[in-house]
Amino acid sequence: MTVRIVRRALLSVSDKTGLVDFAKALAGFGVELVSTGGTRKTLADAGLKVRDISEVTGFPEILDGRVKTLHPRVHAGILAIRDSSEHQRIMREHDLGYIDLVVCNLYPFESTLAKAGASHEDIVENIDVGGPTMVRAAAKNYHDVAIVIDPAQYDHVLFEMRANSAGLTLSTREKLAAAAFAHTAHYDQVIAGYFQKRANPDEAWPMTLRLSFQHRQSLRYGENPHQKAAFYVEPDLMHGCVANADVLHGKELSYNNILDLDSALNLVRELARPAVVVIKHNNPCGAAVSETLAEAFAKAYEGDPLSAFGGILGFNREVDEATAQAITEPNRFIECIIAPGYADAAFQVLTTRPSWKKNVRILRTKPLTDDGVRGLDFHRVDGGCLAQQRDASGDDFAHAKLVTKRRPTAQQLEDLRFAWIVAKHVKSNAIVLAKGGMVVGVGAGQMSRVDSVHMAVRKAGERVRGSVLASDAFFPFRDNIDEAAKAGVQAIVQPGGSVRDQDSIDACDEHGLAMLFTGVRHFRH
């Protein structure tokens, strides 16, 4: 394995996190430091001996710093192939020095773009030119040069230099190059997206869709053991979600765990009161709201105890000790738990019970705000990709329309709101029965809507009497109403919009049911 000794380093960074300590360590190896502008000043102010780039190029920085590293004495030093006799001859002939390590991260274009009120001029000025050129040059010549683009890489680089007498292995240089090319690719992608939007302000969708996700972890397998899988996440996530949740305890997450955890979190996020959801096979089999989290858990679990075994739990509040005690009662098995936090006593309970401590996976998210949740959803199809806005429309019933003679009671209206939110997260065709702030029956993923009604009624049993029903889409026929009324449902919420809406309204009036039309459909295929 070829080791290249680092004798000279060029440092030019926007993010100066850890810069001084890293440069001091390099100097301790006898590395000559060359730097530019603000980076050079930071190093000099820290007492480090550092050459200004203009000393190397023989040319001053010009055009407000736009031109400083774009010079043959810089790029020849980076791009020269050390084992090429012809390159060596040219370097001697022109008295050029080699550069063995480039430390460069780019102007903060993305963060500038995200700033409220940032002008076009400010955004354009934060498009780096010389930085990406140096990064790509060093990455191209990784056989001889190392490129560092992230402060998170500093420790590993220093560790290897200590192990190799100030040298870096070819394997490490190649890995650093791969990270560098990914970095510049993402940088260019964001810039291209910005200008594409400016050039076509009335076009809702980009002509070319470029997605950029960072590898977080390889998974044991995908949906099935014969499928390989990995988890990729968006960079710079701010809102609480599965992708940036901390795994506090338990076995490695599986592909299916992550899917279910995401579903659990997206549902409880929409509920204002203390809420718990039980997810099984990407559908809520139980959900509830109450005055305390422990009560909400008890109601959610009792919604369908048979299906809840081996399920995923999602909470919209910090899990307290009383809730943890309820979760860990005998004969309960939970795969994963996700919540914004855990009281110390609750975490102790969840991780020390003999039947729990080895298996249950416990995740903690950032606060569950709606900030950043909106955006695009993607679905891969053979040969292409579907993109759509996330189904994050408000469901506050502000525009819901009463279409029947009977009005829902205050409690029924509260349950209708709750059931409607849950139905949004159930696979279509979706029917949700709720009563007293808890789901009592779910019909999911059936090809016929009336079959989903039958399934939900069967799951609910006697609890169906006095319940309310939410349907994610309109009823094509009145048979759905008839079956619900026969079972004991008292009120219904659905989008409306069928050519046979009047048949459903008439059926509700005949059975003495209340019904609301929301005007919003929530298909989830």
At 307-324, the pLDDT tens digits run 999 999 999 999 999 999
- 140 belongs to the catalytic site: yes
Least confident of 57-61, 74-78, 475-479: 57-61
Q: Which residue spans of the chain are classified as CATH 3.40.140.20? A: 238-364, 401-517
Beta strands in 329-428 (DSSP E): 334-339, 361-364, 376-381, 384-389, 401-402
Which one of the listed residues 24, 140, 175, 186 is annotated catalytic?
140
Q: Is the peptide bond before 316 cis (omega within 30 degrees of 0)?
A: no
Q: What is the mean pLDDT of residues 413-433?
A: 95
Say whether 525 is catalytic: no
Question: What pLDDT does 416 receive?
Answer: 96
Q: Is the predicted pLDDT of residue 65 greater than 70, yes or no?
A: no
Residue 117, helix vs strand vs coil: coil
Asked whether 54 and 74 are in contact (CB, 8 A), the reply is no
pLDDT value at position 306? 92
Which residues, at least 6 apart from 330, have a Cβ–Cβ distance to it below 8 Å?
A: none
Q: What is the mean pLDDT of residues 100-119?
A: 82
Weakest mean pLDDT among 181-185, 226-230, 393-397, 417-421? 393-397
What is the pLDDT averaged over residues 89-106? Answer: 87
The tens digit of pLDDT for each residue in 371-422 reads 556 678 889 899 999 988 888 766 778 789 999 999 999 999 999 999 999 9
The confidence score (pLDDT) of residue 202 equals 75
Contact, 206 vs 193, CB < 8 A? yes
Residue 1 has pLDDT above 60, yes or no: no
pLDDT at 56: 80
Residue 436 has pLDDT above 80, yes or no: yes
Superfamily of domain 3-199: Methylglyoxal synthase-like domain (3.40.50.1380)
What pTM was computed for the model? 0.78
pLDDT at 393: 66
Report the pLDDT value the prediction gives residue 130, as an integer from 0 to 100: 79
Distance separating alpha carbons of residues 369 and 241, to the nearest angstrom: 10
Q: Which fold has domain 401-517?
A: Cytidine Deaminase; domain 2 (3.40.140)
Does the structure show a pLDDT above 90 at 341?
yes
Return the higher-pLDDT residue of 134 and 357.
134
Candidate list 281, 366, 454, 511, residue with the active-site label? 281
Q: Is the pLDDT of residue 338 over 60?
A: yes
- Please tell me which residue, 93 or 210, carries the higher pLDDT value: 93
| Mean pLDDT to the nearest integer, 178-202 | 83
CA dist 203 and 209 (Å) reads 13
Q: In this structure, which topology does domain 238-364 adopt according to CATH? A: Cytidine Deaminase; domain 2 (3.40.140)
- Give residue 399's pLDDT: 84
Q: What is the mean pLDDT of the chain?
A: 89
CATH 3.40.50.1380-classified regions of the chain:
3-199
